[in-house]
Amino acid sequence: MKRVLAIACVLSLAAVGTALAAIGSEADYSAAMKEVGSTNGALGKAIASSSATDAAAASAKLEALFKDVNAYWTAKKVDDATTASASAIAAAQAISKAVAANDMAAATEARTKLGATCMACHTAHREKTPEGGWKMK
Ligand code: HEC
Binned average pLDDT, 10 residues per bin, the chain of 137 residues:
56 50 91 98 98 98 98 97 98 98 98 98 97 94
> Taking a C-beta distance cutoff of 8 angstroms, is the pair 68, 21 a contact?
yes
User: 81 with 125: CB under 8 angstroms?
Assistant: yes
What residues does each domain of the chain span?
2-136
96 lines ligand 1 (CB under 6 A): no
For the entire predicted model, the pTM comes to 0.88
Nearest residue by C-alpha to atom 3 in ligand 1? 121
CATH code linked to domain 2-136: 1.20.120.10
| Closest ligand 1 atom to Cα of 26 | 18
Tell me if 69 CB under 6 Å of ligand 1: yes
**Residue nearest atom 2 of ligand 1, based on CA coordinates:** 121
Phi/psi for 134 (5° steps) reads -130, 150
**Which parts of the chain fold into alpha helices (H)?**
2-19, 26-48, 52-76, 79-100, 104-125
CA of 33 to the centre of ligand 1 (A): 5
pLDDT on residue 68? 97
36 Cβ below 6 A of ligand 1: yes
